[in-house]
Structure 1
Amino acid sequence: MNRDAALAGAAVGVVLVALLASVAFPGVLADPTEDDPVRPGPVRISEVNIGADDADVRGGTVTLSVDTRIEHRGNPTENVTLLVRAVDAESGLVETTQTVRVGTLRDEAETSVTANVTVEREGGYHVETVLYQDDRRVDEDGKTVSGLEALTPAYAQTDVRFSEGDALPPLSFSVAEADAGNNRTTLELAASLTNSGDGRSEDLRVRFVLRQADSNIVAAQTATDVGAIRPGRTATTTTRVTVPRNYNYYVDAVLLKDGVVVDTARTAANLDPTKRISVNETEEDVELRVEDFEGGGSDGRGEYTESPAYGTETSTPGFGPVAALVALLASALLARRWTQ
């Protein structure tokens, strides 16, 4: 028999056997990847950013928008989940938790995942982000947020504030009328307001309260509406009050928008010719801060610093002056012996 014909017949036989086996036993020629699945690609947190929209700031709470950038490489990765939680910076208690199911990541790129967490508008929080794949923690990151009380609620947002400066003080007064017979003095109060925003101001009102300096008794109070102030402009609103003469007063002014306090100012009115008072106050601005978690080294542990020990100077037992003299003599004798 021809050798080539025999080989061709054997090849045909192998093909026929394979076809018969595939029909008789389905799954014999199944894709091997079904038993040996593809390893999912790595995922990690590359960046975390936290913000707060003005519309999400309320009187008692604020909603923080936590934007987490997740980096994916390699093969598709399924069942990716992001956990975001806000932990009170002082008590360490978890304030709120939000879980976002990311699903399957296929592209070799970064994916932005946003989670909204609502917290009390005071103090600070550690905002932690934890990345899971198939319920297994694979990465985590976070930032610290502080000074939330500095955020202005949406209903009280305005760019108008009392003016600051020596040439144009926020509050001033002048004597409009003096009635010696009735022991009364009428003061004209003026409040200077500046609009540092981009829009016209509306629905503003200034309330004045005069308190006698020694007794703290409210001697008079009044309020006046503020007209519209154009952007970048400064306007002055005035009103009059009558108080007993020959006393000194603290003048407090409160700027309100729709009944909400947005700014305050104070000055002193010295009507007593024999005694004067002044307003001395120290103000500290509280600003919103967002910081990364602080860590000591690459492993996340804090650095250990050994402090030098301090104490009184004492002699070490066994090493006093006598022992030093004996050691010196012994060294001399030994040197002499070696020279001989």
Structure 2
Amino acid sequence: MRRETYLGVGVGILCLLSVIALLVVPGAVASQESDVSSRLSVETVTVAPGAVAGNAATLEFGVAITHRGGASENASLSVRAMDNESGLLAEKSTTVLGQITGDREHHARANLTVEREGGYDLVVVLYEDGRRVDSERGSVRGVEGLSPTSVEFKRFETGIPTIDYTIQKTDDNRTTLSVRTHLWNSGVNDAEGATLELAARQSESNVVAGRASVDVGQVASGESVTPTARLTVPSGYGYHLDAVLSHDGVIVSSASSVADLDPERKIEADTTFESVPFEAADFTQAEDVTDPDDTRPTTAASGPGLGPLTALLAVSSLAVAMRIYRGKP
């Protein structure tokens, strides 16, 4: 009888010690939570055109990263652009993300500046402590179609010319033309800084007989403007009226029309237009997400004192011992 009493007292003491360990020892539970492995993955990637200057264009990346588990240390994001024709690396950048915590979606941004021509294959790689954990692939086409300004020529489907003119005066075998162009802002923000250059080119010799430059000024989103300039040219000839739109020295677009000042001869415009659209393909998960030698860390629990699992095992062991003891004759 005394032995059963001693065993019952021992079980009670062990249970009491387990409760004290959970309440008093600070690292008993916290250590288990801190040792939970982190899980990072790339959820979505978006790419949009950014600033355009000269022969360079900036691609703006938005990356949604999903985090689960413990804190992720030393996370970083690598963005690479390869020429889609040669396959050579054109540009790359790395963004340091640091520590990522919380079971939620985190958003990161990265910029990549490439030459404003052709297309590129894009790779976004997510790293943790220098180890690749996830990646996405996508592509962009028509980078040469990116423009430093949203101001462009207004093209009419009804045959109305983009460039028209009126004769202001004729004097001493010289004719003054008032040349007007139709421009509009196709973007969602106000635009300014564009310059329009107008020229009258003699149709047979291609000699420029007159030239003028006009500052377009600020154009509100969706607004149309009609900058006008005067050109004085020799009378009795046919002319091509050329208009070149530029921004910070970068030619954005061009248009051409005719001014027939020769009543005995008819000329036609010799310029065609072709727009190059910018396209960004959807990103898909890359197959080579991790290196063969990479292994994900497993959840581990350690810490001072008696954890909940240790206490439970102790109580179970004593219960088994009591049953065995009672079973003896």
Q: 1:203 to 1:284 in 2, by over 3 A?
A: closer
Aligned position for 1:48: 45
Paired with 1:81 and 1:192, the residues of 2 have a C-alpha distance of 48
| Cα distance in 2 for residues equivalent to 1:185 and 1:213 | 16
Q: Which runs of 5+ in 1 are unaligned?
A: 16-29, 301-340
1:138-197 Cα offsets, whole Å, 9 max, x none, are 3211221222233233xxx35364463547532222334445xx5444433333344556
Partner of 2:82 in structure 1?
87
Contact 2:151 2:185 (C-alpha < 8 Å) held by counterparts: yes
Unmatched runs of 5 consecutive residues or more in structure 2: 15-26, 289-329
Q: Is residue 164–residue 180 contact of structure 2 (8 Å, CA) maintained in 1?
A: yes
Q: Does 1:67 align with 2:62?
A: yes
Deviation at 1:136, TM superposition (A): 3.1
The answer for the alignment partner of 1:207 in structure 2 is 197
CA 195–163 in structure 1, closer or farther in 2 if over 3 Å, else same: farther
TM-aligned CA deviation for residue 114 of structure 1: 2.2
Asked if structure 1 preserves the Cα contact closer than 8 Å seen for 2:198 and 2:242, the reply is: yes
Structure 2 residue identity aligned to 1:245 = S
The TM-score, its normalising length taken from structure 1, stands at 0.63
2:179 to 189, 204, 225: 189
Alpha-carbon distance change, 286 to 139 in structure 1, aligned in 2, over 3 angstroms: same
Q: Aligned residue for 1:140?
A: 135
**1:128 corresponds to which of 115, 120, 123:** 123
Q: Is the alpha carbon distance of 1:133 and 1:220 closer, same or farther for their aligned partners in structure 2, counting shifts above 3 Å?
A: closer
The answer to whether the 8 A contact 2:193-2:248 is kept is yes
CA distance in 1, matches of 2:87, 2:276: 22
Contact 2:72–2:100, Cα closer than 8 Å, also in 1? yes
Q: Which has the larger radius of gyration?
A: 1
Letter in 2 for 1:47: T
* TM superposition score normalised by structure 2: 0.65
What amino acid is the match of 2:279?
A: R
- Please say if 1:150 is aligned against 2:168: no
Q: Which amino acid aligns with 1:42?
A: R
- Distance in 2, matches of 1:117 and 1:257, equals 22
- Residues 208-223 of structure 1: pairs in structure 2 closer than 5 A: 208-223=198-213
Percent identity, please: 36
What count of residue pairs does the alignment treat as equivalent?
A: 275
1:112 paired with 2:107, answer yes
Shift of 1:208: 2.2
Which amino acid in the other structure matches residue 241 of structure 1?
Answer: L
Backbone CA RMSD of aligned residues: 4.2
Cα separation, partners in 2 of 1:7 and 1:172, compared to 1, 3 Å: closer
**1:3–1:242: structure 2 CA closer, same or farther, 3 Å change rule?**
closer
Matched, 1:159 2:154: no
| CA distance in 1 between partners of 2:173 and 2:127 (Å) | 78
Equivalents in 2 of 1:194, 1:158: separation in Å? Answer: 8
1:102 and 2:97 matched: yes
Which residue in the other structure is 2:278 paired with?
288
The residue aligned with 2:6 is 7
Q: 1:100 to 1:75 in 2, by over 3 A?
A: same
